[in-house]
Amino acid sequence: MRNAHDLLSSCSIEVPEVKDNNEYLHSGLPFIIFLHPALGPFWDIVKQKFIGGSISKGSELQIEVAEFLWQDVELDGSLIILADNIMGSTKRNTDGEQVLHYGARYGRCKLQNVKIVNEGISWDSPSNVYWQHHVERSESLKIILHGNAEFEAKDVVLKGNHMFEVPDGHRMCIIQDEAGFTVKLDPISKEMMDSGTWYWEYTLDGAHVKLNMVDLCGDGTNCRFLIH
């Protein structure tokens, strides 16, 4: 928990303070955060995927995807992102065995300038077993990515209980409108099935690893921009 606080705080994200052990036992959990190791594993890499925003007290954040961007996201409640293919896809070899192909056809998620508000975890529920992460939730925002599915939300407010399930080979975009938001679902082109419509490019800068986001535009051009 303290590691999650220290890591995300260093990303200019406001995170509730974790009190010392004596106070912590009486005050309860300030938040629940699970970040998949494939997001890094080094903190220098994770810190380039999380930029700005806030996590309110009592919130829950569970990220089970490696290709991810959090930029200026405000979380007040529960956010759960689950991917079938976290680090790659499996294919059968000549012996009929399932082999993981790293970096091919995995799930992706981008959240930019998004405000998420829901009731989140029912902290008073007697059935909660926190060390097993078995908790009851009143509301949550849940994103499920099948195969190489992609999810993007930008400049939008997501209030209440929502579940977005993206089928394999598709890209879902959430767009703000007068009624709240609109969901747009499009198939990913064959040319981008393995690479995705965007991906992180890793380069060495001395002793550090620098991430550049490569965004493959719909017209087939290669649009590169740096996420600082």
What is d(CA 217, CA 18) in angstroms, rounded to the nearest whole number? Answer: 42
Q: What is the pLDDT of residues 62-103, one digit of tens each?
A: 999 999 999 999 999 999 999 999 887 777 777 777 766 676
Confidence of residue 217 (pLDDT cuts 50, 70, 90): low
Number of domains in the chain: 1
Would residue 155 be called left, alpha or beta, if left means φ above 0 and alpha means ψ between -120 and 50 degrees?
left
Task: Tell me if 195 is assigned to some domain.
Answer: no
Domain that holds residue 161: 2-189
pLDDT at 18 over 70: yes
Mean pLDDT for the chain?
89
What is d(CA 29, CA 96) in angstroms, rounded to the nearest whole number? Answer: 46
Task: Tell me if 94 is assigned to some domain.
Answer: yes
pLDDT at 225 over 70: no
Is residue 54 a contact partner of residue 35, using CB atoms and an 8 Å limit?
Answer: no
Is residue 38 a contact partner of residue 86, using CB atoms and an 8 Å limit?
Answer: yes
Confidence of residue 131 (pLDDT cuts 50, 70, 90): confident
Task: Tell me if 11 is assigned to some domain.
Answer: yes
Q: What distance lies between CA 75 and its chain's CA centroid?
A: 12
Joined tokens for residue 198: 């965007």
pLDDT at 180: 86
